[in-house]
Amino acid sequence: MTDWLAAADRVAAVAAEHAVHGERLRRLPMPVVDAMRAEGVQRLCVPAAYGGPEVDPPTILQVIERIATADGAAGWCTMIATTTSLLSHYVEPDHARQIWGDPANFTGGVFARNATATKVDGGYRVSGAWMWGSGTQHCQWITGGATGDGFSGSMWFSPDQVVFDDTWHTSGLRGTGSTDFHVDDVFMPEGLATQPQVTGSQVDSPLGAFPDMTLLAVGVAAAGLGIGRHALNAIVELGTEKRPQFSARTISQSGVAQNELARAEATLRSARAFLLDEVSQAWDTAVAGGRVDVAARARMRLAGANAAEACVKAADTAYTLGGGTSIFEHSPLQRCLRDAHVVTQHIMVAPRLYETLGKLHFGIDIDAAMI
């Protein structure tokens, strides 16, 4: 049985070594991609029926977190690849084997239904464009959401059908290669056009009962937790050595720094415990054959938003305590700061989610389709 946390640590070691290069390249360097492929962390949700590892969500989150602790971009791309692999449960079996049967394959893309699908004989003609195509430039299969002519779901494109737009010029998560991409009047066979809400899971696996949008949200949060952990680790390392100007004491000897670090640790660890607890409870329900209901999904989404917020607090605290050292490119503190603030911009964990979840706590009805 694979020790997935040990596998994550091996990927993390490579990711840490190439993190600076990835920032300059604006996508993951190939040694990192190769390490992910060698360890199989890009396909953790693929069911055993297709030769996949079928890993439980609490372990998946820890894999993402550990890799993100080494490099936020690598953790983020691990999250995108493995959460899109959950869609393997909903694709018609022969086509699912085409996409995920080769363990070397990467998947990625965007769930947002930005494309238009027009029904034709044998399938659809599809045109549309998507933002946030994290890691898609090293994928063998790329998904994009579409609607039209009674269809509402995900299409699966090969790279030669996709045009990548050079738009990923950002403040943070630069190494993720999250560029825009588009397709223009591409033919999509019926079997590669999937509607999870209509078909349900095509294989017998508890992962097929775990809500896909929720897994994406908690995966984003796990990447944030890793970035926050990296920031706190970095300030501890710096703080034991650096003496701020005009001070006889190191940062670690400052009462203010000690107080701020302890608070940041408590916030980050509490958020992590909340997230893993809620996901573990939902997973137990799925394994037992139960339904992960709206209340459970909402609690996971709340834990995810809270974790993303804790990530920012950790990065902000570490950056501030680092003083002038933090602003230089050689310092991981500036990268953690930039990366953390990208995490909270993702719609799955953005602050505006609190309003929606707060309505539920008051017993007010909401549209829970995306929860």
Q: In this predicted model, what pLDDT tens digit does every residue of 174-219 receive, in sequence order?
A: 999 999 999 999 999 999 999 887 778 899 999 999 999 999 999 9
The whole-angstrom separation of Cα 234 and Cα 105 is: 34
User: What's the pTM value of the predicted model, to 2 decimals?
Assistant: 0.96
CB atoms near residue 171 (< 10 Å)? 11
What is the pLDDT, as a whole number, of residue 246?
56
What is the pLDDT, as a whole number, of residue 247?
64
349-357 contact pairs (CB < 8 A, 24+): 349/217, 349/220, 349/221, 349/224, 349/304, 349/305, 349/307, 349/308, 350/305, 351/305, 351/309, 353/301, 353/302, 353/305, 354/302, 354/305, 357/298, 357/301, 357/302, 357/305
Mean confidence (pLDDT) of the chain = 95
Map out the domains of the chain as residue ranges. 4-199, 210-361
What CATH class does 210-361 carry?
mainly alpha
Assess if CATH 2.40.110.10 describes domain 4-199: yes
Same fold, 4-199 and 210-361: no
What is the pLDDT, as a whole number, of residue 335?
97
244-283 pLDDT, tens digit each: 665 667 888 889 999 999 999 999 999 999 999 999 999 9
